[in-house]
Amino acid sequence: MTTFHRLLKTTSRLVSSRLTNPSALSTSLLTTKTARTMSTAAAAKRLEGKTIVITGASSGIGRSCALEFARTQPKNLRLILTARREDALREVAAKIKEEFGEGVKVLPVKLDVSKPDEVRGFVGGLPEEWRDIGVLVNNA
């Protein structure tokens, strides 16, 4: 059963129980919130100490991913944000630093993924301590 189908089944049960027992909805929502908190804690643990590369991080989904990773693990994380627009990357980096302080280290790097030579030299051009990449969000 896919995650979507499990969610659909759970939602159907919630609606059915809401019709017969209004308090069942609030109890179920509390359980869902607790599960989400536990899931976030597990994700934070898995991300601890990781270096994450996000392409297309200057706006949209890439920017949102960068902020969400920072929220999930605000104490020991490295984010390499890449895009073609350096000014927008610096703005995202400044926002992350402002919100999360020194726990999330951010390295904005101008990169156009449509240019093979830039992509090939990308990792080698990073500072040594940033080269052990654990996660890639290929959003560009």
CA distances from 82 to 20, 40, 53, 119, 122 (A): 51, 25, 7, 11, 10
- For the chain, state the CA radius of gyration: 19
3-state SS assignment for residue 133: coil
- Residues whose CB falls within 8 Å of the CB of residue 112, separated by 6 or more in sequence, listed in order: 84, 118
Q: pLDDT tens for residues 52-95?
A: 999 999 999 999 999 999 998 888 999 999 999 999 999 999 99
Q: At what angle do helices 22-47 and 60-72 cross, to 10 degrees?
A: 90
What pTM was estimated for this model as a whole? 0.72
pLDDT band per the 50, 70, 90 thresholds, residue 121 = very high
Query: Could you tell me which residue, 38 or 122, shows the higher pLDDT?
Result: 122
